[in-house]
Amino acid sequence: MPYKFNDAGRDKFPKAKYRVTNCSEYNESLRRRGDLTIWVSDDVVKNWASPRRKTRGGQARYSDLAIEICLTLRVVFRLPFRQTQGFMRSIARLMGMDLVVPDFSTLSRRGKGLRIAQNRRAASKPITLIVDSTGLKVRGDNGWHEEKHGAKKARKTWRKLHIALDPVTGKIAATELTSEHVGDETALSALLTDIDDDVSRFLADGAYDGQGVVDCLIEKFGHEVEIIIPPPKNAVHGKNAQRNHHIDVIAQNGRMNWQTKTGYNERSRVEAQIGRWKQAIGDRLQARDFDSQIAEAKIASKTLNRMTALGRAAYERVV
């Protein structure tokens, strides 16, 4: 949809209102997010130590699971490394676990390039995949210092987070963190690497309009995948038959009608998920090293999926 398509007459359209129909269940799921037993289970003791390595080299003291649990607490409660160590140490003491908690330097070192195993279940039928991207801050202040004291604006660094969402389950199917210089079309191939389910529909905004995206989707999911990407206003026919059909429908019936018929408006779900990410996790990455930032993004994605599994809000429109 074009930016502010109906902006001139926006005041003539009443804003849609919705209400939550499962308030008690949803409120309980929000409370459970703060339950420490959700993030630290009782069986972590037997998997806390690293398995004995059979190759040459030093023996790691902590397993990847132990590091992941500590870093998950860091992401959920937005803690520095030292406070994460103290927090995990107090949890182990309160739960009666005999654990030696990794120190802050071990968490920082092991967090670089840590492989995060996502808990996924194979879908029984092909899914719909919605893709979008957003920016996450790395460092740099909020501008107050420059405005108050007239200081020179510092160069800010940020990363680009690419998200693939399954709208039926509400869970993040895949994430990819890149630098700000990597385009959406370029990052798509790496984003789809972790997706093992069959995909019947693919939705994305106009930034993904390109033959490279089409070739990548056909190679990954086959020729049967339905690609719903809005072509630009001056688009012309090309090699892709689906895109040519979209151009013809928009020319005949208008873009708004095309959005309704194709279900393109469902793409707003991934935008809502991005807003949920920045509200629950934050709009800033805590790590400074790029490999650590990738692991942090993977952990945040897994954390949001666990929050979703606790319970989702069910809405209905108020007439």
- Same-domain pairing of 85 and 163: no
Residues 91 and 180 in one domain: no
Domain contains 105:
yes
Whether residue 66 is predicted with pLDDT greater than 90 in this model: the reply is yes
Q: Provide the 3-class DSSP secondary structure of residue 12.
A: helix
Per the domain annotation, does 244 fall within a domain? Answer: yes
Interval 278-313: pLDDT, tens: 999 999 999 989 999 999 999 999 999 999 999 999
In the chain, alpha helices (H) = 23-32, 36-39, 64-77, 81-94, 104-110, 144-149, 184-191, 211-221, 241-253, 255-262, 268-280, 290-310
Please tell me whether residues 182 and 71 are part of one structural domain: no
Please identify which residue in the block is written with the tokens 């873009």. 255
C-beta atoms surrounding 110 within 10 Å: 22
In a domain, 13, yes or no: no
pLDDT above 90 coverage of the chain, percent = 67
* Pair (171, 283) in one structural domain: yes
Q: Please tell me whether residues 83 and 133 are part of one structural domain.
A: no
The number of domains in the chain is: 2
Bridge-based pairing of strands 315-318 and 17-20 is: antiparallel
Same domain, yes or no: 215 and 282? yes
Residues 91 and 163 in one domain: no
Q: Are residues 31 and 73 in the same domain?
A: yes
Mean pLDDT of 132-150: 77
Say yes or no: 201 and 267 in one domain: yes
Please provide the average confidence, as pLDDT, over all residues in the chain. 89
Locate tokens 């690419």: which residue?
162
Distance between CA 314 and CA 26 in Å, rounded? 8
CA of 316: how far to CAs of 16, 104, 168, 170, 310, in Å?
A: 11, 46, 16, 17, 20
pLDDT score recorded for residue 43:
79
Can you give the pTM of this predicted structure? Answer: 0.88
Residue 66 belongs to domain spanning: 23-110
Closest CA to 278 of 161, 140, 105: 161
258 and 132 in a single domain? The answer is yes
Residues 138 and 276 in one domain: yes
Residues 135 and 100 in one domain: no
